[in-house]
Amino acid sequence: MALLEVVDVSKIFPGVRALDSVSFTLQPGEVHALVGENGAGKSTLIKVLTGVYKPDGGELKYQDQPVQFGTPMDAQRAGISTIYQEVNLVPLMSVAQNLFLGREPRNKFGLIDRGRMDREAREVLAGYGVTTDVRRQLGTLALGAQQMVALARAVMIDAKVVIMDEPTSSLEPREVQTLFGVIRDLHAKGIGIVYVSHRLDELYEICDAVTILRDGKLVHTGKLADLERIKLVSLMLGRDMAEVRREGATAFSGAATGDEQAAPVLRVRELNSRHKLHDVSFDVRPGEVVGLGGLLGAGRSETVKAIGGAYHLDSGTIEVDGKELKKPTPVRAVHAGVAVQPEDRKAEGIVPGLSVRENIALAVLPRVSRGGFVSDAKIDEIVDKYMKRLRIKASSPDQAVGDLSGGNQQKVLLARLLATDPKVLLLDEPTRGIDVGAKAEVQSLIDELAAEGLGVVLVSSDAEELVEGSDRVVVLRDGVVVGTLTGAEVTTEDLMSTIATEAPREH
Amino acid sequence: MTMTNVSGPETPAIVAEDVRKAERTDRIVGTVQRQGALAVLVVVVLIALATFPNFRSFDNAATILVAAAPPMLIALGMTFVIITGGIDLSVGSLYVLGGVLAAWASQYGILAAFLLPLAVCGAIGLANGLLIAYTRMAPFIVTLAALLGARGLMRAISSEGSNTYLVQNDAFRKLGNGSFLDIGYQVWLVAALVVIGMVVLARSRFGTSIYAVGGSEDAASLMGVPVRRTKVWVYVLSGLLAGLAGAINAAKLGSGVTVLGVGMELDAIAAVVIGGTLLTGGAGTIAGTIAGVLLLGVIQNLINQVGNVNSNWQQVISGAFLALVVVAQTYLVRLRRVT
């Protein structure tokens, strides 16, 4: 008897088929890995399972009965419990209160029995390796411990299915082992677990079965042990291993433009950030495009943000053009000549309501203003220059950026970055969400900019784009540089095999 | 291809030391947050005892308590509302409306004098709560509308505020002026309600829900807390307590004075925040609110003692206190997060 069955489920959002007839089956006591790159449909599937979204087609069967969950509460009451990537507890309440919220033990007057609640919370949490004072505010605990409290809570409510969405992203190695201990217990009790993670080592350590999604479609489901690592990665990324590398799939010229002898324009040494980055080091020379490769959550975006001063670093040094960038903040980074194009241009990049002119001018205001007054003529000059240079298609400089196509929005963002006169350009997914033609234009622009002597760092989930656009690829996994591909090694095959190599055992 | 090694995690000993330090900071900061207002109150009272001979009398203490009784009730309701992350601006208007309704209804007996203001103010609170919980309108706007509406209603039933109803019922009048153990009846009533409020907030599931809703509404609803029901109830409670405060004040004054209550919602908010409740919701105690109300009351009393000082200085001092507390709160919350 299957515990939970997803049969031909589809979910359509305006313009996107987020899930396209996806099916998979969870058996009792099974730890089932759900993997796929960004936008593959994992989160949508989880939200369908937990009652956040209603599917547009197909059906859910729970213990062989067709079910429909209207709200997350319905799913929870039926015994499907979810641990979200971001902890979903109340930070200002005590650990014990969070654990028992809604199910507090009560005395004969109907009042909450605090003593018993704290005592039971202590006992339960000890089993999860959390030995803190349970009367403390939850928000003051380390993220890992908070995640353990969320786990304890999810398991306590008589769950039959536990869905874990990247549960280890904020855990220490020691805590990961505790989590795996709990998972093995649940497995022994016949509870089904859906396990979402990008860490291959974890998947192979704890999961029995695997379902791989790509672009909303099911590409593989079966026993994990039967699936080679390299095969899993190629299924996820959508590259057939045997397939010969297609030349010219992207607009990158492929010719290395970097000068081997030149001093690096960006020197990154031993960047460390708790849980996310461990001793990340690399160099970028003028005219060179260095790709950062790896799966989602490997630390690519964090590295880019950290260099741009927008991500907390515990240690490490960053040198731009030979000068150390001390205590990076976004303002200091811009002054040092670092320009960052964030991953999510809508949320962190452009201001959609402002015009093309205003968006470009934002970055250069300090340079073109004198005594607090802004010279219109100077702004016009700069705007005109970059609109031509980047071939931005807008009806006029006064058109709102929000009305432009994705590709042109991206170019406006690039224009704004270039207007600050950077020495290093950090691009995080520069072609995501833009159409094919615009993609090619952005790609050739990147080539041109590098040819002019900028140092470029490129992050892309598109393996082809990364490989063809980069002169070198630094491969990250779990925040560690696991390899660097140079020269003839810069191929999707080498990239995938580097991503898939087993991590050195540490814990 | 080059391979780099993974760096090791920190050693457990350092982690344990970190945890102990974090726990200690957390305890200290938590205590300051909860007891700060009380400590300031004690200091102010000690200074007052030393400097003002008239402050030292039992009568003066009783006067302070009687004067603080209606604001205390309003601040009690406000504490519940603010912990859910909301705000109730209507309470000043409900207070004056409750007073006028109680004075008018007293001709039909003491029971009517209580029930009418409770029913009307409770109903307005219910309307506030339903609008806030189910239409997701901002509490600020909804209760601002109620502030205007309730004051309008009061003026409509009192001929533009010119008609002051006298309390017709002797028992009701006695309740406002009589005392037990030389302390006014209203003080005992308020004390009883405050104790009940404390138990509800700290020891009932409803109380826990209030904290959860204010602490993180999304998390609370995912954990199965009845978020909307909780919100409706806190505004009903706030309305009821404001109406009751108006009624006991009418009993004391012997009439439904129509010019009261302007800005009283702001005093209540100030008292609650001075008492350590976070304006963003999720944390706070009634004990803190008591200290906040008494602190404002004592300052008012001291200004009156000095005599020749313009009473507007009381507001200047209260304002300064409020600013100080908000700054301290922000700092303390940050201190707690970082560790």
**Minimal-distance CA residue of chain A relative to B8:** A506
* Cβ contact, residue pair A279, B7, below 8 Å: yes
Domain A267-500 has CATH 3.30.2320.50: no
pLDDT at residue B16 in the model: 56
Mean pLDDT within A20-32: 89
Q: Does B12 touch chain A (CB under 8 A)?
A: yes
* Cβ contact, residue pair A111, B225, below 8 Å: no
pLDDT at residue B338 in the model: 46
**Minimal-distance CA residue of chain A relative to B338:** A140
**CA separation, residue B289 to residues A310, B36, B236, B333 (Å):** 40, 11, 19, 18
**Minimal-distance CA residue of chain A relative to B337:** A140
More confident call, B92 vs A496: B92
Q: Does B8 touch chain A (CB under 8 A)?
A: yes
Highest mean predicted confidence (pLDDT) among A17-21, A126-130, B159-163:
A17-21
**Minimal-distance CA residue of chain B relative to A138:** B337
Minimal Cα–Cα distance from B337 to chain A, Å? 6
Q: What is the pLDDT of residues B74-83, one digit of tens each?
A: 999 999 999 9
Is residue B147 one of the residues assigned to a domain? yes
Q: Does B13 touch chain A (CB under 8 A)?
A: no
Range of the domain at B168: 35-338
Where does the pLDDT of residue A247 fall: very low under 50, low under 70, confident under 90, or very high at 90 and above? very low
Of A93, A132, A482, the CB nearest to B215: A93
Minimal Cα–Cα distance from A390 to chain B, Å? 36
Q: Which residues contact B77 (CB under 8 A, 6 or more apart)?
A: B88, B91, B234, B237, B238, B239, B240, B241, B242
Minimal Cα–Cα distance from B281 to chain A, Å? 9
What's the DSSP call for residue B255? B
A161-165 vs A80-83, strand pairing mode: parallel
pLDDT at A207 exceeding the cut of 80: yes
Tell me the chain A residues in contact with residue B205 when contact means C-beta distances shorter than 8 Å.
102, 104, 106, 112
CA B333 – CA B225 distance, rounded (Å): 25
Of B2, B212, B283, the CB nearest to A101: B212
* Cβ contact, residue pair A140, B222, below 8 Å: no
**Minimal-distance CA residue of chain A relative to B284:** A92
> Which structure tokens are listed for A182?
């709990």
Tell me the chain B residues in contact with residue A498 when contact means C-beta distances shorter than 8 Å.
1
Minimal Cα–Cα distance from B210 to chain A, Å? 11
* Cβ contact, residue pair A112, B220, below 8 Å: no
Tell me the chain B residues in contact with residue A482 when contact means C-beta distances shorter than 8 Å.
3-4
Test mutation, A90, A113, A278, A501, chain B, max B CBs within 10 A: A90
Q: Does B212 touch chain A (CB under 8 A)?
A: yes
A57-62 vs A65-67, strand pairing mode: antiparallel
Residue ranges in chain B whose pLDDT is less than 70: 1-23, 26, 33-34, 161, 307-309, 311, 329-330, 333-339
Tell me the chain A residues in contact with residue B8 when contact means C-beta distances shorter than 8 Å.
506
Test mutation, A93, A131, A278, chain B, max B CBs within 10 A: A93
Minimal Cα–Cα distance from B6 to chain A, Å? 6
Q: For chain A, what is the mean pLDDT? A: 81
Rounded CA Rg of chain A: 25
Is residue B299 one of the residues assigned to a domain? yes
ipTM over 0.90: no
Of A92, A104, A136, the CB nearest to B205: A104
Its CATH architecture, for the domain A4-237, is 3-Layer(aba) Sandwich (3.40)
Q: Could you tell me where in chain A the CATH 3.40.50.300 domains are found?
A: 4-237, 267-500
Of A101, A104, A174, the CB nearest to B223: A101
Residue B146 and residue B139 in contact, taking contact as beta carbons nearer than 8 Å: no
Mean pLDDT within A87-108: 85
Cβ count within 10 A of residue B182: 9
More confident call, A502 vs B277: B277
Of B1, B5, B220, the CB nearest to A504: B5
pLDDT at residue A260 in the model: 61
Residue A274 — left, alpha, or beta (φ > 0 → left; ψ -120 to 50 → alpha)? beta
Q: For chain B, give percent helix, strand, coil, nearest 5.
A: 75, 0, 20
Q: Does B178 touch chain A (CB under 8 A)?
A: no
Is residue B105 one of the residues assigned to a domain? yes
pLDDT at residue A352 in the model: 76
**CA separation, residue A139 to residues A95, A96, A98, A326, B206 (Å):** 9, 12, 11, 30, 22
CA A242 – CA A253 distance, rounded (Å): 24
* Cβ contact, residue pair A484, B2, below 8 Å: yes
**Minimal-distance CA residue of chain A relative to B277:** A92
Q: What is the pLDDT of residues A132-183, one digit of tens each?
A: 888 888 887 777 788 888 888 888 877 889 998 888 776 777 778 888 888 8
Tell me the chain B residues in contact with residue A489 when contact means C-beta distances shorter than 8 Å.
1
pLDDT at residue A88 in the model: 80
**Minimal-distance CA residue of chain A relative to B215:** A90
* Cβ contact, residue pair B203, A88, below 8 Å: no
> Which structure tokens are listed for B6?
């993974």
Test mutation, A71, A82, A92, A274, chain B, max B CBs within 10 A: A92
Q: Which residues contact A100 (CB under 8 A, 6 or more apart)?
A: A117, A120, A121
Length of chain A: 507
CA A420 – CA A331 distance, rounded (Å): 11
Is residue B155 one of the residues assigned to a domain? yes
The CATH number of whichever domain residue B266 belongs to comes to 1.10.3470
* Cβ contact, residue pair B30, A137, below 8 Å: yes
* Cβ contact, residue pair B282, A93, below 8 Å: yes
**Into how many domains does chain B fold?**
1
Of B3, B19, B225, the CB nearest to A101: B225
Where does the pLDDT of residue A506 fall: very low under 50, low under 70, confident under 90, or very high at 90 and above? very low
* Cβ contact, residue pair A481, B4, below 8 Å: yes
Minimal Cα–Cα distance from A355 to chain B, Å? 31
Helix, coil or strand: residue A123: helix
Test mutation, B26, B33, B84, B230, chain A, max A CBs within 10 A: B26
Minimal Cα–Cα distance from A141 to chain B, Å? 8
